[in-house]
Amino acid sequence: MNEQLAFTIEVFANGLMAGVLYALVALGFVLIYKASGIFNYAQGVMALFAAMTLVGIQNGQVPFSHLINAIFGTDLHHFGWHVHSFLAIALTVIVMIVLAWMVQKFVFKHLVGQEPIILFMATIGLAYFLEGVADLMWGSEIKSLNVCAAEGACLPQGMNVWLEGTTYEALGYGFFIDNLDIVASIVAAILVIGLVMFAQYTKQGRAMRAVADDHQAALSVGVSLNFIWVLVWSLAGFVALVAGIMWGAKSGVQFSLSLIALKALPVLMLGGFTSIPGAIVGGLIIGVGEKLFEFLIGAPFLGGATENWFAYMLALLFLVFRPQGLFGEKIIERV
Amino acid sequence: MSGVNTAAESYVTDDGRTIGPVVMEMKNITLRFGGVEAIKDISFDIREGEIRAIIGPNGAGKSSMLNVISGFYVPQEGEVWYNGSRRPPMKPFQVAEQGIARTFQNIALFEGMSVLDNVMTGRLTHMKTGLFAQSFWKGKAEREEIENREVAEKVIDFLEIQAIRKTPVARLPYGLKKRVELARALAAEPSLLLLDEPMAGMNVEEKEDMSRFILDVNDEFGTTIALIEHDMGVVMDLSDRVVVMDYGKKIGDGTPHDVRNNQEVIDAYLGVAHD
C-alpha cells in the first residue's frame, strides 16, 4: 500500500471525527426545529455558554464577579474551591434546564403562532443576549477545559493533536488519531442512541413526537405544549453542553466556539432539518468531505484553506438539487 | 320530555335507554371573533350516557361550540359547568386531562406515527410516571406501558383496525383515518367524547360503519357523546337529544322528533328567509 493511500485513510478518519462534533451541534438544531418549528440560531452560543458555565463551576469562579466587584467595590474572583467534574456537569445541566425554562417563559411563550422569520429573529436576539450574559458571568478570556472522572482519568486534551495523538498500527502504517476524537465519537453515539430511545420508548418521548407532528392534535390528547418545549430546549441545552465539552477540550473554551453554529447550517442542509439520523450523517459527510477535499484537491491545486468554504458550497449544491436534504421530508404540493 | 327532568335526575327514554343526570352544562355562552358573534348566548346541557347532537347549517357555530367545550376557544361570556362545578378557563390539554376527548372535522392525527402509536397517545393522560422514572426506571415505565397498551389494543380490536396497527397513518385512506382518530379519542376512556362531524366526506357504507361504532361505544362503555353532524338522517337515528343552531343562535333543543317538527328548524334547513 502506498503512502498516499495511508494518508488518505488517516485524513478520512480525522474528518469523520470532526464530523461528529458538527453533528452534535446540528442535533441540537434538529431537536428544537422538529418540536416547535423554531430555527435556533443560538444553538452554538448555547454550546459556548454551557462550556463556560462548566469551566466556571469547576474552577469555583464567582459568577458575575466583575459586575459585583464594580458595584460593591469588592474583590471577589474565586470561591477558592474546585468542583468535581461530574458534580460540575450535573450543575451545568441544571443551569441549562433553567435557561430552557426561561427562554420558553420569557420569549417563546409570547411568540406562539408567529411567523417563522419572527421566531428566527428572536433566536438571533437570544444568541447575542446569551453571549453577553456568558461574558458578564464568566469573563471573556480563553479557558482550558479539563473534565476528569478521577485523578489521572481525564478527558484527553485536543490541543496537541499531532504531537500526542495515539498511533494505531494498521496495515503496517502508523495512523495518527486523536484520543479525544475517539472519546467524542463514543459519547456522541451514546447520546444519539439515548435520545432516540427516549423519543421512542418513553411517555414524554411519545408526547414529544406528537407535538412535532401536530400541535392541535397533541393538545387534544392532553399534551402541554409548554412542557414539551421546555423539555426540547433542555435536551438541546444538554446536547449543547456535550458539544461544548468536546469542542472546549479540543481547542479551549473561547468565544469563537459560537461560530461552529454556522458550520452546523450546511450540515442541516445536507441532512434535512427534521431528521436526527440526517444530522449525524450530514455532520459526518461535511467533516470527511472538507478534510478529504482539502487534502486531495484543495491543498495541491487550489492553494489550501478550502475547509472554510467547502461545507457551504456543498450545501449550496444540495439546495439546488435536493432542497429537502438527504433525509428531510419531501414537500409535494398537490394541485 | 327532557324539559320535565331536573338536572340531577335520571330518566328512561321511550326506547328504554337510561339517561343519567347532567354532566356538562353550558350557560349563556357568547363567543366573539373581533366583531363577529360566532355563538350568541347559548345554553344547553349534556346528560350522562346520552348521545347529544349539535346540528345546523354551515357557519351556524357548531364547531365553535365544540371548541368551547374542549377548551380550544375561550368564550367571552357565559359559564361552563362540568361534573357539578364551574370550570375555570382552561387550556385544551387541561380539558383533556379532565376526561374530555375529541376528534376534529379535518382530522388531526400524527401522520408520521403508526396507528398503534397514535392510539397510544390517547393514553398519555393516564400515564402518570414522571420524566426521570420514565427515563431511568425501566421496570416501572415498562409496566405502565404494558397496562396502557392493553387498553389501546382493546380499542383497536373494538374498532376493527387490527390489520393496520403498524401502518403509518399518512398512508391510510380518509375513512380509516377518521376511524383511527376515533380510536385515539376512545383510548383515553373519556367521560365525555366530542365528535366533530365524524361522518363528513364519507360514503354511505363508511357512514353506516361509523354510526354503528358510535352506537356501540355508547352502548358498551356507556360513554357520553356529543357530536356535530350535517346529515339529518344520521342525526335522527343516532341521537337522544338534539341542539339546533343557526347563525350562532339556538333555535331548537329536544328529542329528534321534537326538533323535526319545529317550524324554526324546518325554516333554517329549507332556507326560508330570516326576518
Average pLDDT on A122-148 reads: 87
B100, β-bridge pairs: B192
When the pLDDT of each residue in chain B is averaged and rounded to a whole number, the result is 88
Residue A171: which pLDDT band, with cuts at 50, 70 and 90? low
pLDDT in the model for residue A151: 57
- Does position B13 have pLDDT exceeding 80, yes or no? no
Closest CA to B120 of B178, B160, B163, B166: B166
pTM over 0.80: yes
Residue A85: which pLDDT band, with cuts at 50, 70 and 90? confident
| C-alpha A30: how far from chain center | 11
* DSSP state at residue A160: T
Give the model confidence (pLDDT) of B214-270 as tens digits: 999 999 999 999 999 877 788 888 899 999 999 899 998 998 888 888 888 888 776
Answer for the pair B253, B241: CB distance below 8 angstroms, yes or no: yes
Residue A161: which pLDDT band, with cuts at 50, 70 and 90? very low
Contact residues on chain A for B125, CB-CB shorter than 8 A: 221-222
Check: complex ipTM more than 0.85: yes
Q: Give the cell for residue B232.
A: 339529518
Burial class (CB in 10 A: 0-12, 13-18, 19+), A66: middle
When the pLDDT of each residue in chain A is averaged and rounded to a whole number, the result is 84
Nearest to A202 among B70, B94, B141 (CB): B141
User: Residue B102's closest chain A neighbor by CA?
Assistant: A220
Closest CA to A126 of A231, A47, A37, A40: A40
- Does position A162 have pLDDT exceeding 90, yes or no? no
Closest CA to A243 of A30, A3, A2, A1: A30
User: Residue A195's closest chain B neighbor by CA?
Assistant: B135
Matching residue, cell 453571549: A131
CA distance B57 to A25: 53
Answer for the pair B71, A221: CB distance below 8 angstroms, yes or no: no
Q: Percent of chain A scored above 90 by pLDDT?
A: 30
Closest CA to A283 of A262, A273, A268: A268
**Neighbouring residues of B251: CB distance < 8 A, sequence distance ≥ 6:** B56, B244, B245, B262, B264, B265, B268
- The answer to whether the CB atoms of A217 and B125 lie below 8 A apart is no
CA distance A183 to A156: 8
Give the model confidence (pLDDT) of A8-21 as tens digits: 888 888 888 788 88
| Type of residue found at B260 | R
Contact residues on chain A for B70, CB-CB shorter than 8 A: 220
Q: What are phi and psi of B181, to 5 degrees?
A: -65, -40
Contact residues on chain A for B109, CB-CB shorter than 8 A: 214, 217
Contact residues on chain A for B184, CB-CB shorter than 8 A: 221
Interface of A to B at Cβ within 8 Å reads 198, 201-207, 209-210, 212-214, 216-225, 231
* DSSP state at residue B17: -
Give the model confidence (pLDDT) of A93-118 as tens digits: 999 999 999 999 999 989 888 888 99
- The answer to whether the CB atoms of A209 and B96 lie below 8 A apart is no
Interface test with B, best of A193, A211, A220 (most B CBs within 10 A): A220
Answer for the pair B242, B235: CB distance below 8 angstroms, yes or no: yes
CA distance B218 to B226: 11
Taking one residue from A and the other from B, the number of pairs with CB-CB distance under 8 angstroms is 86
What value, to the nearest 5°, has the Cα angle with vertex A122 and ends A116 and A125?
150
- Does position A299 have pLDDT exceeding 90, yes or no? no
- Does position B273 have pLDDT exceeding 60, yes or no? no
Residue B194: which pLDDT band, with cuts at 50, 70 and 90? very high
- The answer to whether the CB atoms of B121 and A219 lie below 8 A apart is no
Give the model confidence (pLDDT) of A200-211 as tens digits: 888 899 999 999
Matching residue, cell 472519546: A183
CA distances from A231 to A248, A332, B130 (A): 25, 31, 13
**Neighbouring residues of B44: CB distance < 8 A, sequence distance ≥ 6:** B25, B26, B243, B250, B253
Burial class (CB in 10 A: 0-12, 13-18, 19+), B23: buried
Matching residue, cell 435556533: A40
Nearest to A206 among B117, B125, B131 (CB): B117
* Gap from B103 CA to chain A (nearest CA, Å): 8
Alpha helices in B85-238 (DSSP H): 92-97, 115-121, 131-136, 138-158, 174-187, 204-221, 232-238
Return the HEC string of A247-315: HHHHHCECHHHHHHHHHHHHHHHHHCCCCHHHHHHHHHHHHHHHHHHHHHHHHHHCCCCCHHHHHHHHH
A187 sits in which H/E element? helix A179-201
- Does position B69 have pLDDT exceeding 90, yes or no? yes
Interface of B to A at Cβ within 8 Å reads 70, 72, 91-94, 96-97, 101-102, 104, 108-113, 117, 120-122, 124-125, 127, 129, 131, 134-135, 141, 144-145, 184-185, 188
Residue B73: which pLDDT band, with cuts at 50, 70 and 90? very high
Nearest-Å Rg of the Cα atoms of chain B is 19
Average pLDDT on B176-189 reads: 94
Q: Percent of chain B scored above 70 by pLDDT?
A: 96
Residue A276: which pLDDT band, with cuts at 50, 70 and 90? confident
pLDDT in the model for residue B88: 92
CA distance A4 to B15: 90
User: Residue B67's closest chain A neighbor by CA?
Assistant: A220
